[in-house]
Structure 1
């Protein structure tokens, strides 16, 4: 009769030898479809001549919105089919800007610069990430979201905008169709 204990030890040694060069798979089992976007560049205050002119008003009534409020706007003349594709997130995103962590003043200038420099192709849109203010005190309104809504309504290049699909930030971002510069 063979010794069961010696067979077990021998089998364990064989198994360890067989798996000696095996490396475990990474813990994250997800593919990143889009590379992370670079942080927006905030221009110093003294660089005013290079910045886009401030054509937006901070005064007047800024509509109060919650973190989950869906932002939506469409100028007259935009085809219903195009606006529906924007709402569904079916338009190609040509450019994106992230305003997280910026003050209202910084975010306004970054947004103005972005809209001025953005060159969306026909049938494309841009994505503006404003966040939902989730890291602030409970019950506090999302300040940047309110101002982005207020500013986009005023900007002459903005033809339409709508809160993004969950894959692109949900109610923490908006898709926007911009008028192409001629």
Structure 2
């Protein structure tokens, strides 16, 4: 009988303790973070899906452009790239998996397209690409503008390990093979 009395006393104490309490209507905890504004989220999502008309080109400066002659062969490697890699690149032994032709474009359009092209190639883990800049042998004796700019920009790009003028059947001194830095993705065989 003492057990029933204890249970009754406990039940009565519990009822007194919860007197005036209301049942919980939601099963979500309040984390203290402000609630998200659905209208603002929808606006942000719509903006993210719309193409941006201006490509942001970071790091490709043309304040100091290295002038090169129309028939001059181009070659450059970043620190740490082996000479054997440059030799293979120069002789066309490393196959290129993408190509872009920049003939007849303005300097600004060339910069934008080159940046986009290299970004896409590196995202696809491409090892080597070909960039055709042309030679632009000018009658007034001035140096080729696009070739000089491409030569300068490729040296500045963080994903470029090296470049060299192509063999004649791939464009000769009017094109360059570009060796790109690749990130090691999981599951890749080579």
TM range (shorter): 0.5 to 0.7
What's 1:64 paired with? 67
Q: Give the superposition deviation at 1:78.
A: 1.3
Say which of 42, 47, 51 aligns to 2:53.
Answer: 47
Q: Give the superposition deviation at 1:147.
A: 0.2
1:166 aligns with 2:165: no
Stretches of structure 1 lacking an aligned partner (at least 5 in a row): 1-45
1:80 aligns with 2:86: no
Task: Compare CA radii of gyration and give the structure with the larger one.
Answer: 2
What's 1:143 paired with? 145
What's 1:18 paired with? none
TM-score scaled by length of structure 1: 0.67
Work out the CA distance in 2 between the residues paired with 1:86 and 1:55.
25
Q: Give the superposition deviation at 1:89.
A: 1.0
SS at match of 2:97: strand
Contact 2:97/2:128 (8 A) holds in 1: yes
Q: Give the superposition deviation at 1:140.
A: 2.7
Q: Give the superposition deviation at 1:145.
A: 0.3
1:84-142: CA deviation from partner (whole Å, max 9, x where unpaired): 100111111100000001000000000000011114657x41000000003x4252311
TM-score scaled by length of structure 2: 0.64
Work out the CA distance in 2 between the residues paired with 1:99 and 1:58.
17
What's 2:132 paired with? 129
Work out the CA distance in 2 between the residues paired with 1:181 and 1:164.
25
SS at match of 2:135: coil
Q: Give the superposition deviation at 1:63.
A: 1.6
Contact 1:95/1:126 (8 A) holds in 2: yes
What's 2:93 paired with? 90
Contact 2:125/2:183 (8 A) holds in 1: no
Work out the CA distance in 1 between the residues paired with 2:98 and 2:166.
14
Q: Give the superposition deviation at 1:58.
A: 1.2
What's 1:155 paired with? 157
Work out the CA distance in 2 between the residues paired with 1:81 and 1:52.
35
